[in-house]
Amino acid sequence: MDITTVCIHGNRKNLDYTGAISVPIYQSATFAHPAVGESTGYDYSRLQNPTREHLENIITDLEQGKGTVAFSTGMAAISALMELFSIGDHLIISDDLYGGTHRLFSLISKKNGIEFDVVNTSKDTDLTKYIRKTTKAIFIETPSNPTMQVTDIKAVAEITKKHNLLLIVDNTFLSPYLQNPILLGADIVVHSGTKFLSGHNDTLAGFLVASTEDILEKLRVISKTTGASLSPFDSWLLIRGIKTLSIRMEKQQENAKIIADWLCRQPKVKKVYYIGLPEHPGYEISKNQSRGFGSMISFEVENEETAKQLLEKVNLILYAESLGGVETLITYPMLQTHSDVPKEERESKGINECFLRLSVGIESADDLIKDLEQALS
């Protein structure tokens, strides 16, 4: 079945006998048992809920995994993921990660005894030199947030398979519509469902997609024990959002290419980070492992004054955190998404006072360019 059809019809399991087209919202905390020792398959909504299960099955089909666990936020999903590891375990991680992930690893995971090597996985292809006896996984985000680094998933998977490590890939920026890390060798795929999967900036969600039953069962035990399950109503919002994932991603990507090309011609813009530009160092890898380039653009302007002017003068474009929705958003990573990353570390990656991130929506590209033009003038 084509992925565009999966987005709309997804899991065909019948949850309703009235003929309703929309999946029911089972807004129930608990479920009655038909008899002692018997179950309908649903006992308590922290463990499983029919609406959430329907959503999880859709995500599993989209990512072509073995199963999915849905969480209340993307960070709840990554927090649960880290419960797979114990004191003394070691992970190799990309050096450019979402600021919340960086904060979790730095403040919580390290406190809990987990050790990290931070590596530019888009450039350093010899990851074997970082592997220790205690190494358990490699965690990459590709394209990365916010500098759009692209890591070769297949190449990293060859290393993890050889050394019996888990490969974890945050696939938020491209969504399963444009990239499927499990098909490239990943063991676990991470999503902030808040972003492209939801697509409307109206709910929070997170997902972990497992490639095997063994990993899936471990994640389900962690989920029901730690308790950050996605609610039935939020599950329904995600089901609704995913129905338009394909047409949203196509339009957003189309707009992003037009805007990236325009930004490249602006005298006040020093550098454009968009993986769909042929000059991007990850362009060829992206062509090989993805079905498109997505709609995330970062760019550096001439000075801090210009950056602040742009943020304060945009009208159609909204100055806000988050990404992936139908509305175009502009973000100032140094003050927002990456404010907790130490300044020296942040600036070494180019995330400075002149660096901006644009999540391109589905508006008219001409209108978006006019807004950027007047804000830069």
Options 195, 248, 251, 357, the catalytic residue: 195
Average pLDDT, stretch 350-355? 92
- What is the total count of domains within the chain? 2
Residue type, 14: N
* CATH number for 361: 3.90.1150.10
Residues 251 and 309 in one domain: yes
Q: Is 46 a catalytic residue?
A: yes
Residues 250 and 238 in one domain: no
Q: Which strands form 206-210's sheet, in the order they lie side by side?
A: 67-71, 206-210, 188-192, 166-170, 135-141, 90-94, 115-119
How much is the pLDDT for 341?
82
What is the domain extent for residue 338? Answer: 246-376
Nearest alpha carbon to residue 100 among 190, 202, 167, 196:
190
CB atoms < 10 A from the CB of 304, how many?
13
Residues 116 and 259 in one domain: no
Residues 8 and 31 in one domain: yes
Residues 286 and 148 in one domain: no
Among residues 242, 261, 286, the one where a domain terminates is 242
How much is the pLDDT for 1?
85
Residues 170 and 136 in one domain: yes
Among residues 242, 276, 308, the one where a domain terminates is 242
Q: Is 195 a catalytic residue?
A: yes
Q: Is the pLDDT of residue 196 over 80?
A: yes
Residues 319 and 216 in one domain: no
Answer whether 0.75 is exceeded by the pTM: yes
Among residues 203, 219, 242, the one where a domain terminates is 242
Cβ density class 63-93: b for 16+ within 10 Å, e for less: bbbbbbbbbbbbbbbbbbbbebbeeebbbbb
Options 42, 46, 136, 220, the catalytic residue: 46
Query: For residue 123, what pLDDT band results from cuts at 50, 70 and 90?
Result: very high
Residues 227 and 289 in one domain: no
Report whether 190 contacts 215 (CB < 8 A): no
Residues 331 and 225 in one domain: no
Residues 279 and 237 in one domain: no
Residues 178 and 274 in one domain: no
How much is the pLDDT for 347?
81
Distance, in Å, from the CA atom of 285 to the CA atom of 23, rounded to the nearest integer, reads 38
Give the tens place of pLDDT for each residue, 97-122.
Answer: 999 999 999 999 999 999 999 999 99
Give the tens place of pLDDT for each residue, 215-241.
Answer: 999 999 999 999 999 999 999 999 999
| Tokens, residue 129 | 């030199």
CA 40 to chain centre: 33
Residues 189 and 167 in one domain: yes
Options 95, 170, 234, 371, the catalytic residue: 170
Average pLDDT, stretch 136-148? 97
Distance, in Å, from the CA atom of 190 to the CA atom of 169, rounded to the nearest integer, reads 6
Q: Is the pLDDT of residue 17 over 90?
A: no
Options 26, 95, 98, 130, the catalytic residue: 98
